[in-house]
Chain A
Amino acid sequence: MKIGIPRALLYHYYGVFWEEFFKELGHEVIVSPHSNKEIVDTGIKSAVPEICVPIKIFLGHLKYLIYEKNVDYAFVPRMISIHKGEIFCPKFMGLPDLVKNGSPEISDRILTTYIESKTENISNYKNYISLSDKLNANEEDIKRASRKANIKWLEFRRNTLRGIPADKAAEMVKKNTVYKKNNSNNIKIAVVGYVYNVYDPFLSMDILDKLHDLNVDYMTFEMLDNKTIFSQISHLKKRLFWTFSNKLLGAGYYSLKNHNIDGLIHLTAFGCGPDSFLGKLFEIESDIRQKPFMTIRIDEHTGENHLQTRIEAFVDMLKRKKEKESA
């Protein structure tokens, strides 16, 4: 069978796992290409206008796979939890509902399952056993595929923890390539944002590459281990309910405190609810810590020049600040 995986949302974090999983079961896996204008426009037409851009983009990829690539099924997991006591943004938890009822005409082409785990390792075969009928696999197959997929995913995570950005880290696992990061004594910026924003070139305009070209080091949340991240927010009386938002919060707080990091960029998509709070908390904390902070809000219309100018200005400012401090 042809199984499609939209290159959107958590594909950028769990794609390595899902691809390997379906392949191991003998299926052909088709991943949609990087977002482009057409995909995005389809997504916009398929969604209610107010919903956040990443969800629109997801719908665009989904339709692309079904209508352009004619896949038998497209994979739309229902993400519930990957951390004890926390859940996902409502849009993730309701994603299959939104897809099936919003576009009833494709509802029988959707492959979906509940993903619920105490940690971010989602390899427990029970998460996928409900797919066995559609995938023509028995329990043993599902177990084996989960195990194999997990090996790859763990490798991917080891890469990110070594400071390699998620897209490159995934490529290394899939294509056995090597990636060298230029570690310099330059400015270092933390870019805090969801994987589906940072690694979608249509949205982020390859912000990480832009920084790289400006000779700037960068850090993203997936380069920090969970212990470091969650220790940053243990003092809060209440945490957000959403795991990835909490990870961003922890990573953001960490970078505002850490002396090796010169500034923080919060990359956020237009219409993102959880981020409205993160942004405020970063703003307050950056005031207290006296560390430069900038929000970049992206949507389907963000102009590349505008983004470039803002990043350059931010980097210049950090450089001047650093020179002054070391003088």
Chain B
Amino acid sequence: MSNKVSFPYLGHVIVYKKFLQMMGFEVIMPPAPTQKTIDLGVKYSPEFACIPFKMLMGNYIEACELGANTIISSGGHGPCRAGFYGEVHQRILRQMGYDVNFIIFDSPKRDLFGTIKKFFKIKNKQSISKMVKVSKVVFPVLKDLDTFEKKIHTMIPYEINKGQSLEVWREIYKIYDEVYSQKELLEARAEGHRMIDSIKLRKVNDDEKIKIGIVGEIFVVIEPSINMDVENLLCSLGCEAERSLYLSEWVEHNIFGEKHEKTIQDLGEKYIEILIGGHAKTTVGNIVDFKNRGFDGIIHLMPFGCLPELVSQSVIPKITSDHDIPVLTLSIDEQTGKSNNLTRIEAFIDLIRNKKTKEKVFSGGKK
């Protein structure tokens, strides 16, 4: 039986597709999550499983329906329930009658390279150099997409032609979908920059800008289909939005051992002394980091019942009072009524805007 490989739908999925295809696998693209995905996931998951588990459950079922028989996933880098996801997902899928195998790439400590070697059948120099070559295309693609996406979310609020930035972003995404070589990569990058530069923006004074940081558990921070597309939502309310987590940074940290995240965690140390699993310490550190970088407010996203993020949530009031930074925690599950959260976000932004105007008047009067 030939391997038909699929993977979780999380963030820029074309990147995983590209990597696997270029390594010579037959790829089953998981369908973009819809209400049906969530419904399926909820139906076959334990009732109190966290929402990432349920979403993935739905993803996998849909991928299996399309014929996938191998699922590649990561156990997540913080030891939490995610580390055990694969084990339970596989059992449930088997119980449903799908004969499917799981390959879990774990954080480096648990023999990441051993798993990679085995799975990609890396035996000799040739296969190593192939993998290196592929990575040299795929990783920059991921990195570029993250950079452009980040950029776009600082532009939308000021665009003169409504909708132009998002359209450009979609175009860029499409262009990168076609990138399979160094040459194409460079072309795409140039084209991307050109397109970004073509977006016309209003001039806005720095002290009128509202910047919101988004922190929390990786899955709900990264995947727009589960987080109400919160970045764009914030943009549409006139704010710049930046996430604490971009997949390329995650890869840099977990595979290339980059140190940025460590620095962030150090900032969190005052509130959560040790790594307690998941992303809690990073969440807390990121709040401080955003504040230091001049952001005006924080949206903290957590899956309903998320163990480590509940600890973050518990310490947030202290951070808010120590650092004078407003934080709105939203917990996300399959029933998260969009409208309810929407109202809360709107109210939150109003509050920040008022606070900002007042401060401006105040400091203006002092001069």
A-side interface residues toward B, CB under 8 Å? 47-48, 50-52, 78, 80, 87, 89-91, 93-94, 96-98, 101-102, 104, 236-241, 271-277, 279-281, 284, 287
Contacts and interface: CB of A to CB of B under 8 A. Distances in A.
A111 B83 CA distance: 32
B192 interface: no
Would you list the 8 A-B pairs with minimal beta carbon distance, nearest first? A101-B315, A276-B48, A94-B311, A101-B318, A93-B276, A90-B308, A280-B46, A241-B79
A239 B83 CA distance: 9
A97, A237, A239, A276 — most chain B CB neighbours (10 Å): A97
Contacts, number: 115
A123 to B, nearest CB: 22
Nearest to A239: B84
A94 B308 contact: yes
A89 B276 CA distance: 8
A273, A281, A287 — most chain B CB neighbours (10 Å): A273
B49 interface: yes
A293 B68 CA distance: 33
A97 B84 contact: no
A240 B220 CA distance: 22
7 contacts: A50-B313, A97-B315, A238-B87, A238-B104, A241-B277, A274-B81, A280-B91
Contacts of A48: 310, 313-314
A275 B84 CA distance: 12
Interface residues of B, number: 41
B47 interface: yes
Interface in B292-337: 304-308, 310-311, 313-315, 317-319, 331
B83 A98 contact: no
Given A93-B277, A241-B79, A274-B81, A104 B48 contact: no
Interface of B: 45-50, 75, 79-81, 83-84, 86-88, 91-92, 95, 104, 271-274, 276-278, 280, 304-308, 310-311, 313-315, 317-319, 331
B276 A90 contact: yes
Contacts of B48: 271-273, 275-276, 279
Contact of A276 (B49, B104, B313): B49
A158 B111 CA distance: 38
B88 A281 contact: yes
Contact of B50 (A96, A104, A238, A273): A273
A90 B80 CA distance: 8
Contacts of B307: 89-91, 273-274
Nearest to B268: A97
Contact of B277 (A90, A101, A271): A90
B314 A280 contact: no
B76 to A, nearest CB: 11
B43 to A, nearest CB: 13
Contact of B315 (A98, A236, A273, A277): A98
Contact of A97 (B79, B81, B311, B331): B311
A90 to B, nearest CB: 4
A280 B88 contact: yes
Contact of A50 (B49, B88, B304, B308): B304
Given A96-B273, A104-B318, A238-B83, A51 B88 contact: no
A271 B306 CA distance: 9
A97 B271 contact: yes
Nearest to B277: A90
Given A241-B83, A280-B46, A102 B314 contact: yes
Contacts of B276: 90, 93-94, 97
Nearest to A98: B314
Contacts of B274: 78, 80, 93-94
A108 B92 CA distance: 47
